[in-house]
């Protein structure tokens, strides 16, 4: 049985490391990259009491098998708070078991209870499985071009 829950802001370093270990799997496809310290730093920042970031995890038999990392932001267009879902990840050995869907459904329920006006997310252009999941839950294409900068 898979249990989905929000990670408490006062979580200990061992649990933060478990989250970072899980998210490291997200980088396997791009080759050797050392982002572990970056993950720990980001998780530390997310766990600060005043942070608008939230982490939800899916746990199966005491093993973290999936996680969602999101930020709550304000939008004039939406007339209130919305979620930017930065990362949704399920460990490759646990995919195609409905875990990503369970995480998303939990996030949607949580967002509705918090009075949040919407959720925005993105996926790769060719990621058909993920697009099908998002479409099945009522998400739709927003035609835009995303820009970024790194300092």
Alpha-carbon distances of 131 from 17, 30, 108, 123, rounded to whole Å: 29, 21, 17, 7
Cα angle 130, 151, 81; round to 5: 50
Q: What band does 142 get if pLDDT is binned at 50, 70 and 90?
A: confident
> Is pLDDT above 70 for 31?
no
- Residues sharing a CB contact under 8 Å with residue 32, sequence separation 6 or more, in sequence order: none
73-103 per-position pLDDT tens digit: 999 999 999 999 999 999 999 999 999 999 9
Q: Which of 3.40.718.10, 3.40.50.300, 3.40.630.30, 3.40.50.1580 is the CATH number of 2-7+50-136?
A: 3.40.630.30
Per-residue pLDDT tens digits for 33-60 = 678 899 999 999 999 999 999 999 999 9
Spatial neighbors of 54 by CB under 8 A, at least 6 apart, are 6, 7, 46, 69, 70, 71, 72
pLDDT of residue 63: 97
Residue 135 pLDDT exceeds 70: yes
Q: How confident is the model at residue 26, as a pLDDT?
A: 86
């Amino acid at each position: 049985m898979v249990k989905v829950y929000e990670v408490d802001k006062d979580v200990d370093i061992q649990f933060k490391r478990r989250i970072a270990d899980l998210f490291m799997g997200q980088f396997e496809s791009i080759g050797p990259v050392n982002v572990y310290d970056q993950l720990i730093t980001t998780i530390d920042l997310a766990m600060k009491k005043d942070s608008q970031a939230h982490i939800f995890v899916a746990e199966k038999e005491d093993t973290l098998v999936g996680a969602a990392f999101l930020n709550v932001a304000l939008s004039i267009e939406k007339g209130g708070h919305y979620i930017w879902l930065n990362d949704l990840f399920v460990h490759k050995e646990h995919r195609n078991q409905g875990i990503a869907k369970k995480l998303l459904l939990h996030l949607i329920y949580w967002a509705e209870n918090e009075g949040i006006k919407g959720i925005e997310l993105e996926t790769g252009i060719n990621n058909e499985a993920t697009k099908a999941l998002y479409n099945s839950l009522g998400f739709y294409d927003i035609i835009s071009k995303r820009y970024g900068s790194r300092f």
